[in-house]
Amino acid sequence: MYMNIKFSKVRLAIATLLFATATAHAAAPLPTIEVHRDANCGCCKSWVSYMEEQGFQVIDHVEQDMTAVKRKLGVPRHLASCHTATLNGKFIEGHVPAAQVIELSKRADLQGIAVPGMPAGSPGMEVPGVVHPYKVIGVSTEGEKVIANYP
């Protein structure tokens, strides 16, 4: 009986430790991103709100010349969308889902990611009842490749 009580206490202690560790990892803050956008773009503001809701800290920059911003950050012209964000020197172009932004933060091989255009149903472009399929494109020194398909 004594061994069963002692064993149960050890199992409880291990379970508590595992739970505390998992909770600490889950509560880790997401990285800060900087968003560059036109003042008159409502979907850009919606994407900023979406990223904040996902747990990102967002520094919001209203720009006069988004073409110059995209050129400076190395966004390929054919992948352009309405807003451009940065994370640790890498670009995030357009309505990219939070999952791929998190993935970008962990990948050394990518210079940036993009959702070209403004597809309905992507974050910040929600339209009731309308979802267009879209791709998240990863850009590296090796070229471009699809890193995610939605929906």
Q: Average pLDDT for consecutive 10-residue bins of the chain (151 residues)? A: 46 39 57 95 96 97 97 97 97 98 97 97 96 97 97 91
Of 37, 31, 67, 65, the closest CA to residue 51 belongs to 31
User: Within 10 A of 4 (CB to CB), how many other CB atoms are there?
Assistant: 8
Q: What's the start-to-end Cα distance of the chain, in Å?
A: 55
* pTM assigned to the model: 0.81
Question: How many residues comprise the chain?
Answer: 151
Q: What is the pLDDT of residue 29?
A: 85
Q: What element of type H or E holds 139?
A: strand 134-140
Measured between alpha carbons, how far is 66 from 6 in angstroms, rounded to an integer?
65
How much is the pLDDT for 108? 97
- For helices 42-53 and 98-106, give the axis angle rounded to 10 degrees: 70
